[in-house]
Chains A and B, each alone.
Chain A
Amino acid sequence: MSEKILITGNEALAEAAIRAGLEAYFGYPITPQNEITEYMARRMPEEGRVFVQSESELAAINMVFGGAATGKRVMTSSSSPGISLMQEGISYLSGAELPAVVVNIMRGGPGLGNIAPSQSDYFQATRGGGHGDYRTIVLAPSTVQEMADLMFPAFDLADLYRIVVMVLGDGVLGQMMEPVLLEKKQTHRKLPAKDWALTGCAGRSQNIVKSLDLVVPRLEKRNLMLQEKYRRIEENEVMCEGHLLEDAEIVLVAYGIASRVVRTVVSRARKEQIKAGWIRPVTLWPFPSRQIAAAAERARLFLTVELSYGQMFDDVRIAVAGKAPVHFTGRAGGAIPTVEAVLDEVKKLMQPGKVAVER
């Protein structure tokens, strides 16, 4: 029998990763996610598993590359500037189709920015900050409990699709404490054998893990195969939550920590007779475009709320496809939109007789 314990999001995520079968962790210190690295330094050796503090994020992601190639469950974690350094490695992991989990506890940017929470790496995470036509699955927790829970599907999805799964949190989720039930969540996914792994070629032919193909038609074919895989993921792996959408005239869309502000805003708006509802994407890629498009059949307008200056906003607009105006409100650089400010924005947009024009 498990009991709820009070721990930080970073620690909950780290412990869940271990319970999800993490075999090797590689990382370089950066705030606001040092608790993950420190937790791993303590717990991984206890479990007889691998922990390495790398000399840089560049090295960390390449250690992940090596570890993943052996077929082991591996991960790294960092925050925004470190994730920027990992982009080359993420592209190579994608090209070589190696499963890996990369955690980004986002902080304020650009540049060194600050160590306060942010959601400004959405473009980088969902568009691929590295080179080439690749995708990473992006999971966005919104509670400490979910920081833990999402680690189980994260590793399974990585193995199932031989893909990089990014867990995109932020400084608040990483640092804050909430009661958490730590369990070994069964995902009941049937995972394919890792017959591509580098385990020594005794008794079989040589395995090669690579991304180079100098022959144009062959690399094109490989790209098409990757695209087909990405379509399958878009078809099958969208996760999203919605509430009060049946009669909602205004739909607020937010993920991660911003979605918690939005929940409060929506319940306060309802008390004031404003028909508001919310959608929270859990997977940022694949994006819940269908769910948003369905809501756009009924809703009069959309409001996207982010700790950025409008990144997921683009995806919401693509999904809404002109059926309704899409508005944005948000703050970045470490600031968090307050319930009052977002509620004011909702009221302003919902003024009777007002013609809503985008932005």
Chain B
Amino acid sequence: MIEIKNISKSFNDRMVLDNVSGVFKKGETSLVIGASGTGKSVLLKCMLDLVRPEAGTTLYDGRDFYIGDEEDKKDIRREMGVLFQGGALFDSKTVHQNIQFPLDMLTEMGDGEKKDRVEFCLQRVGLEGTGNRMPSEISGGMKKRVGIARAIVMNPKYLFCDEPNSGLDPLTSIKIDELIKEITDEFEITTVVITHDMNSVLSIGDKIMFLHKGKKLWEGNSQAIMGDTVPELEEFVFCNKALSLMRAGK
């Protein structure tokens, strides 16, 4: 379980996050949704302590993440897997080496064992046989999937995905959503997914948090989101043509 408490962050006097709190439960896929530029990625970076907020804390199963130096945080960091918005694959390493990298750096596994684990993760994201390619030689969707493979290679307890399906075709995007959901259920992970894709919201969102201009305006599940009364959320949800037609029909 991850708890965020009263997180506020501003850049150059511009408030990007304003007193955001929330709880992300174990075994659930929690979504953070909101329009572009509302501070979703910044919230994620605060939770990962890549950006230190001015106020507030993040607790990982009760352990305060902002206390102590990097050495103290290492234990929690080992339990995290992160997919960044752009994939953040290491350009100078092959796909296989990218996925193996956390194992190399953080574990004492033997070579054979590492190879098996990497192959397993590659197969899990449907990329068997691409291990020898460089990140520059694969497509955007494949980069995302390699990013997910790298994020889960250490068997994380906490998985964070920043827009796992932006820039992908609808089919691949659904596949990635399902993959995240499956992994979460299978390994009882606490998963936080940032997205602005209504498809994902409706299909994989166990719990949804809606951010608007740095504030948390709404929280609930994917059923409740259709019948909500917050105008900003309504606007966000029903800008989707299919959904608005559906509402008009009912």
Q: Do A and B associate with each other?
A: no
Binding site for B on A (CB under 8 A): none
- Chain B residues packing against A (C-beta within 8 Å): none
